[in-house]
Structure formats: C-alpha cells, structure tokens
Structure 1
Amino acid sequence: SDPPAPPTPKTLLSNLPATILNDYYETECPNDAQLAYADKFFAPSRHSPVKLWSASKFRTTPMSAHEPEVCFLGRSNVGKSSLLNALMTGELCYTSSKPGRTREMNAFGIGGTKGGESKIVLLDMPGYGYGGRYDWGKEIMKYLQKRKQLRRIFLLIDGFHGMKPMDRVMIRSLSEYGLPYQIVVPKIDKVLVKQRNQLRSGVSESGLAACRDLHREVREAAAEIVQEWNGPPPLGETLTACAQVERTPGHYIGISALRWAILKAAGYDANLDAEGNVIKQEKVVA
C-alpha cells in the first residue's frame, strides 16, 4: 500500500505575517515600533481606560466633549464588546451570548493621565439586525451623521457568516453620507480553523487561503455597494482580530494593529525612531 501522505505544513500563529491576517491594499502595514507604541498608549493605568458616559439618544450625549472619538458598529452578537475589552485590556464592556445586550452608546476614555482628560474615546454601539431595535438604529445614525468629534467608524463584519443584508445596508448608509469607515473582521479564528484549540498547532495552507479569500470577498462586496451609491469606499485596509486567542503571550490576534489604526484615526500616529521612541507627536486638531 502507498505510504501515508506527509502532514501538511502549518504556520505557527506567532510566525503569521500581519500582511496575511490583515489586508493593507491602500495603506502601509505598521512596523514593530508602531505596534509597540500603540500597545503602550493603550496600556492600563489608574486613569485609563475609564467609562465616560452612556446614552440611549443622541441628544443626551455630552456635546461639550472635544476628544477625538472612534466607534465600533456591527450586527448584534458580532463580538463588539469582547473586542473592545481586548483593546482596553479590561472587562469594561458587558458581554453576552444573547444578541442585542448592548442597549446604549457606551463611551470609554483611553490614554488619560492624573488630572488630565482621556486622549481618545472609544464607543461601543448597540448592534443592528437580529436583537437590535429599529429605534436604536435611528439614534445611531443621528450620532454618526452629526457627531463632530467622530473620526472613524470601525464596522465589524462576521467573517464566518459573511456579509449579511443589514451589513450591506449599513455600508450603503455610511457611503451615502460620506462617513469615514473601516472594516474589521472579529473572530478570525473561525475562518482560520474549524475548532479554536487547533490554532495551537498552527494554521494550514487552506486556513490561510480562506483568510485571503475572505479579504477579497469583503473588498469586492464593499466596492460593489459603494459603486452603486457613488459614495466613498471604506479605508483601504481590512483588519482581522480575535479577542480570545493569543498570537504571542499577552498579545491577542490583531489587537495591536487595531490599536494602531485607532491612533491613526485620532491623529496620534507619532513619528517614531527605530527603537520605538517618539520623535515628535503630532495631533490633528479638528
């Protein structure tokens, strides 16, 4: 009988290049110094992260705030709250397996110091679609269209289930109103392997191919919707993440790259030297 086929070679998570996990098709992939700077910026302290406010209606959001804001938007149960907890290295957002658990806009401050305000505000938004209510959708759209502090919307698309009709409606709305948004695929482990514990032994070529296919599908679907509505496309990079699996000890898949994207959106992408020290920090003033 024929000898058994040799096992397919696998790539360890720690060796997976960011350019496979993420799709930087019009932007530059961050280097190690930039990722380390982003992690340091988000490092927890006594003054960061902090819960700032909650609001169920746009008119009750604090109007006097001037810190740059980014918000996380997606279908109910796509994993927004878990992702935000991983970004902030804490359990500030309530997570639930039941869709529609987040019922208000919840704002969290990052980068604050003693006696100082937070430098960036992250918003966890109520989910849309199943488990999300129509009237929340109206309030979310009011916030997205009218909030002067908003710098970027991170739109979470489920990579395993693909783009659903409500995701397409949301992309169409963001494009129609000319809002700055970027697509993020959480729970990327479901695309790379069938069972999460298989990741310990690495990712097979078929898993990597599935990741590449996913990026192409997301890019093509977004381009198609945008072309139809003649509005601006999403930012030219698609990021992936997993809030439950560490790529290297203490670093969850995609979290550092997502932190860097947030810093860029808020104008805190400092100029760094080769060692990762800040040469000059430039902040975009609205």
Structure 2
Amino acid sequence: MVAPGLRLGAERLFEMPAVLERLSRSNSTSQAFAEVLRLPKQQLRKLLYPLHEVERFLAPDRRQDLHLRIFDPSPEDIARADKVFTATEGNRIDYVSSAVRIDHAPDLFRPEVVALTAVPSVGLAGDFAVVFSSFVLYFHWPLRLKSESPKNQYGHTKKMNFFKVGKHFTVVDMPGYGYRAPEDFVDMVETYLKERRNLKRTFLLVDSVVGIQKTDNIAIEMCEEFALPYVIVLTKIDKSSKGHLLKQVLQIQKFVNTKTQGCFPQLFPVSAVTFSGIHLLRCFIASVTGNLD
C-alpha cells in the first residue's frame, strides 16, 4: 500500500521533465535539492530510487521477490519532505537531552523515530561510523550537531540521546546492541520500545555488505516481540558490486517476507558516500511522522 497522498514516482520520473524543471526553480524547494533535480535522469533515478536500479538486474520472474511499489513517492513528494530536513533559523535540529531510563527521558509529545544498529566485533570495527553520525550523514544535518551533542565513540554510546528536528519530530539515538553494548542495554532500550507512546517507527541499520548477522536478530526479536513497526535500512550500498548487493537484497527481502511480522516489507538501501536512497528515506520518515499531510 502506498502511503496516503503519495503517488508512484519512479516510473513517472522520465515522463515529467516539465515537473522537474518547475521543482528545480521553485522557491519551496531547497537549493541543495534543486541541484539534485538537475542531474541527468538516469543518475537522478539511481539517486532517488535505488531499489529500481537493483531491479534492472533481475529476471522478470524474480522481480516479484522485491516489494518495489510499497512506498514510491513522486519527486514532488520528495521535494516536500526535503524541506522538513533543511536546516534554517526557523527549522533547527537541536540536541535536547540524554537519559539512561525511560523515566528520565524528556516529555516530548511530537512523533519520535529511533535508530538502532549493532556494534561490530573488534575485527569489523575499522570503518564503521558512530551510530548517530551515520544518521546525521544520511539526513545532511549540520555538522555543528557533533560538537553540541554528547561526544560518543562507536560502541561507547551509553545513553539514549534525544534530538529535535524543528517542530516536526524527534530522533532518538540508542546505544548499539551486541558487542560492547552497555550492561543495562536491555532495561534501557526494551523499556523505551515498550512504553514510549509517541514512538512512530524504529529504524534498524543493517550493513548491506555482510547482511543480517546474529547480533541484528537482537533488535529484530525485540521489535517482533513488542509488535513494533520497524524498517530495515541497508547501509553502505556503495561498498558492494551490483551482483553482491543484489544477492544481499534478495536474501534480506526473503528474510523479511518469511521471518517477520512487523517489519515494513520494503528495504531502504542507502549510501552515506553517494547519498543514494537518502531522499527516499527522508520522505518515508516525513510520511510516518505526519509531516506530508
């Protein structure tokens, strides 16, 4: 099901040059996104709709294995969502506070989304980013947040960190699960996931190079046990060949289709290097937090 108010977008991309031109010149579109819209159409499609890029390498009888029409917003919808993530004087992204228990969490009545990711083992720790820094990169948020927010090293985040995105919603950065997780991880995170009433969606960041690992099942089992709606975001898609990425996408999609109940049936592949898939993920977050109404 396509989210209310959203229209199929990827297939229309090559049929709407006038729309793209109007959007690129519109005052309601940020300068950064206006530049994106001026990219060659093939490059633009790859940037905005990366799953469709993967689909091109599937045989016709395998395309049903991917859910490519669940969330497929038009470029107009993506442009509207981009405004939510554009930092201005009236739309600041600010650190609010940190908490180690749910009763210490700030009373923020706006919608919340939470980011969860596994802490890799020592042998894999080389080029992994900080959990929150990864989310910051994906949304192009100002780098000033790094100095204003608690200073964290990957695998050392010990608290739940709350960040306001303008007047729109709140992002909660959680300690990583698995290797080097804090001792009170279960009490802290499970209690938040079970009791936080304004939590709208949980985003599990999974490394697309290695796929779903045993540590990822910790978060998946929590979400399934508590009947929480969650989404799998495949990170680092720029690190894999098309063949390897396609294999991983199919394997993870099969896992989602057959082993999960609460997981959104569409994967969100993204790259913090090429920014492929970032705008689509932004649009989805804007939608689930009620900011595309």
- What is the TM-score normalised by the length of structure 2? 0.70
Which amino acid is 1:75 matched to? Answer: A
1:238 aligns with 2:272: no
Q: Measured at CA, do residues 215 and 233 of structure 1 come closer, stay the same or move farther in structure 2, by a change above 3 Å?
A: farther
The answer to whether residue 167 in structure 2 is matched with residue 103 in structure 1 is: no
For residues 205 and 187 of structure 2, the distance between their equivalents in structure 1, rounded to whole angstroms, comes to 19
Match of 2:250 in 1: 216
2:51 pairs, out of 8, 19, 36, with 19
Q: Which residue of 1 aligns with 2:77?
A: 34
The one-letter code matched in structure 2 to 1:240 is: P
In structure 2, what is the Cα distance between the partners aligned to 1:221 and 1:31?
28
TM-fit CA distance, 1:221? 2.2
Please, which runs of 5 or more residues in structure 1 have no aligned partner? Answer: 1-10, 113-117, 192-206, 227-231, 247-251, 270-281
**Which has a greater percent of helix?**
2
Alpha-carbon separation, structure 2, partners of 1:106 and 1:97:
11
Aligned counterpart in structure 2 of residue 52 of structure 1, from 70, 80, 96: 96
Q: What is the DSSP-based 3-state SS (H/G/I as helix, E as strand, rest coil) of the residue aligned with 1:165?
A: coil
Aligned positions of 1:16-165 closer than 5 A? 16=46, 17-20=49-52, 24-25=67-68, 27-46=70-89, 47-62=91-106, 64-76=107-119, 79=129, 80-86=131-137, 87-91=139-143, 92-93=145-146, 99-110=154-165, 112=166, 118-165=167-214
Q: CA deviation at 1:12?
A: 7.4
| Counterpart-to-counterpart distance in 2, 1:168 and 1:239 | 18
Q: Hey, what's the Cα distance between the residues in 2 that align with 1:31 and 1:186?
A: 23
The 5 Å alignment of 1:206-285 reads: 207-226=241-260, 232-243=261-272, 245-246=273-274, 252-269=275-292, 282=293
Conserved? CA contact 2:111–2:200, under 8 Å: yes
Question: Helix, strand or coil: the match of 1:267?
Answer: coil
Q: Distance in 2 between matches of 1:136 and 1:153?
A: 16
Shift of 1:234: 0.6
Looking at structure 2, the residues matched to 41 and 102 of structure 1 have their Cα atoms a distance apart, in angstroms, of 27
**What CA distance in whole angstroms lies between the structure 1 residues aligned with 2:150 and 2:132?**
6
CA contact (8 A) 2:50 2:269 kept: no
Once the two structures are TM-superposed, the CA of residue 137 in structure 1 deviates from its matched residue by 3.0
Q: Aligned with 2:186: secondary structure?
A: helix
**Distance in 2, Cα, partners of 1:51 & 1:128:** 22
- Per the TM alignment, residue 101 of structure 1 is displaced from its structure 2 partner at its CA by 2.8
- Paired residues, number: 227
Query: Is residue 19–residue 29 contact of structure 1 (8 Å, CA) maintained in 2?
Result: no
